[in-house]
């Protein structure tokens, strides 16, 4: 990408989109096209058509999505599959129609089979059943990947897809009804500390293992791939390292300074037993993450405390 190219970041107010904007601006890309969901509803075909006709972006980062944790994915299945299918179909199609030079589609590691062998390589897509609690979201994301690949095959488009692992960072979602595990635990421990509570309850057994990547590292990887990767096959983006939910909780407990005990609610689902991405392909291309989990959580906790009144409303 050239510094003056028109770059559309879809979903710029979200955690991933805002990190992409920061990274692009720091790298000298200032001709950014940004629209809020109120200004441009990506689920509405006519609005997306009008936007692309008027602005004609050169490059697109498709980070807009309906996202959430286990509870949100399980209870809002219809909303998750509809919104995500519409968003990606509209943006990818209009990128083709209006000659976008390159599009980067952000998927999710939940697209891989529930019992995929570990670490999960890109070739394991569609080789087994999905985790039921986020199946609707995963199917929508798989459709986005296949749409990009199909457009490359039929129309000669240059659309690439990346699969991030579990993300955290500035501008995360701390709503306990819809957040992912790391921000949910961070908020739970903080509130338990300030209220002087004796314990914090963790969903499930604490045994599942998860991989976590700071969103700034993801944004760096996306910019790197946009400028250095042309193949239509998937690219995993992660750290190649994972941690059990129990150990994650203990790490966050220590960082927050909560002195109570952990309790485990065995009536709640664990989700996928383990989900560690193979990052061998990304490493071979020439990228590696920089922010350690402990360092990242410490910085995120400082940001969370600064904005806690907003999250607790």
Helical residues (DSSP H) of 263-311, grouped into ranges:
280-285, 293-306, 308-311
Helical residues (DSSP H) of 126-279, grouped into ranges:
135-155, 181-195, 215-228, 245-256
* Neighbouring C-beta atoms of residue 260, cutoff 10 Å: 14
User: DSSP assignment of 27-47, as one string?
Assistant: TT---EE---TTT--TT-HHH
C-alpha distance across the termini of the chain, in Å: 41
CATH number of 7-169+212-240+275-291: 3.40.50.720
Find residue 163's DSSP bridge partners.
236
Query: Cα 231 vs. chain centroid, distance in angstroms?
Result: 21
141 is in an annotated binding site: yes
pLDDT value at residue 63: 97
d(CA 140, CA 45): 17
Which positions are catalytic? Answer: 137
pLDDT value at residue 177: 77
pLDDT value at residue 275: 87
Instruction: Answer yes or no: are the C-beta atoms of 275 and 165 closer than 8 Å.
Output: yes
107 is in an annotated binding site: yes
Residue range 84-141, pLDDT digits in tens = 999 999 999 999 999 999 999 999 888 999 889 999 999 999 999 998 888 999 999 9
φ, ψ dihedrals at 262, nearest 5° = -95, 140
pLDDT value at residue 76: 77
- How many residues in the chain? 313
The residues, ordered by sequence, that sit 6+ positions from 223 with a Cβ below 8 Å of its Cβ are 20, 23, 24, 27
pLDDT value at residue 235: 98
Ranges of residues in the chain whose predicted pLDDT is under 50: none
pLDDT value at residue 147: 98
pLDDT value at residue 66: 83
Task: Please give the torsion angle defined by the CA atoms of residues 241, 245, 251 and 256, in that order, rounded to the nearest 10 degrees.
Answer: 130
pLDDT value at residue 271: 76
φ, ψ dihedrals at 86, nearest 5° = -65, -45
pLDDT value at residue 312: 66
pLDDT value at residue 267: 93
193 is in an annotated binding site: no
Among 60, 69, 51, 45, which Cα is nearest to 12's? Answer: 60
Residue 95 parent element (H or E): helix 77-97
Instruction: Answer yes or no: are the C-beta atoms of 168 and 222 closer than 8 Å.
Output: no
d(CA 270, CA 268): 7
Among 201, 176, 165, 180, which Cα is nearest to 282's? Answer: 165
Count how many Cα atoms sit within 13 Å of the Cα of residue 289 in the half-sphere of its side chain. Answer: 25
106 is in an annotated binding site: yes
pLDDT value at residue 173: 87
Per DSSP, the three-state class of 162 is strand
109 is in an annotated binding site: yes
d(CA 15, CA 215): 7
């Amino acid at each position: 990408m050239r510094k003056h190219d028109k770059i559309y970041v879809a979903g710029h107010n979200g955690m991933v989109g805002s990190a992409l904007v920061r990274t692009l601006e720091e790298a000298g890309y200032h001709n950014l096209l940004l629209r809020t969901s109120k200004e441009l509803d990506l689920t509405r075909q006519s609005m997306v058509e009008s936007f692309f006709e008027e602005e004609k972006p050169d490059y697109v980062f498709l980070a807009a999505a309906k996202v959430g944790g286990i509870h949100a994915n399980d209870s809002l299945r219809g909303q998750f599959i509809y919104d995500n299918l519409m968003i990606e179909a509209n943006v990818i199609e209009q990128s083709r129609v209006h000659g976008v030079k390159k599009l980067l589609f952000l998927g999710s590691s939940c697209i891989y089979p529930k019992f995929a062998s570990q670490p999960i390589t890109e070739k394991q897509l569609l080789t087994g059943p999905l985790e039921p609690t986020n199946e609707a979201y995963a199917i929508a994301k798989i459709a986005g990947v296949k749409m990009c690949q199909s457009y490359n095959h039929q129309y000669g488009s240059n659309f690439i897809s990346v699969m991030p692992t579990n993300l955290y960072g500035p501008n995360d979602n701390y709503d306990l009804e819809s957040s992912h595990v790391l921000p949910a635990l961070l908020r739970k421990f903080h509130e338990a500390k300030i209220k002087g509570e004796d314990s914090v309850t963790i969903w499930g057994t604490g045994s599942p293992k998860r991989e976590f990547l700071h969103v700034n590292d993801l944004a760096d990887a996306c910019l790197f791939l946009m400028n250095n990767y042309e193949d239509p096959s998937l690219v995993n983006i992660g750290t190649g390292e994972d941690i059990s939910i129990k150990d994650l909780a203990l790490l966050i407990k220590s960082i927050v300074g909560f002195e109570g005990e952990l309790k485990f609610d065995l009536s709640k689902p664990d989700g996928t037993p383990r989900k560690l991405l193979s990052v061998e392909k990304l490493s071979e291309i020439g990228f590696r993450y920089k922010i350690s989990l402990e360092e990242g959580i410490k910085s995120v906790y400082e940001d969370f405390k600064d904005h806690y009144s907003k999250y607790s409303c």
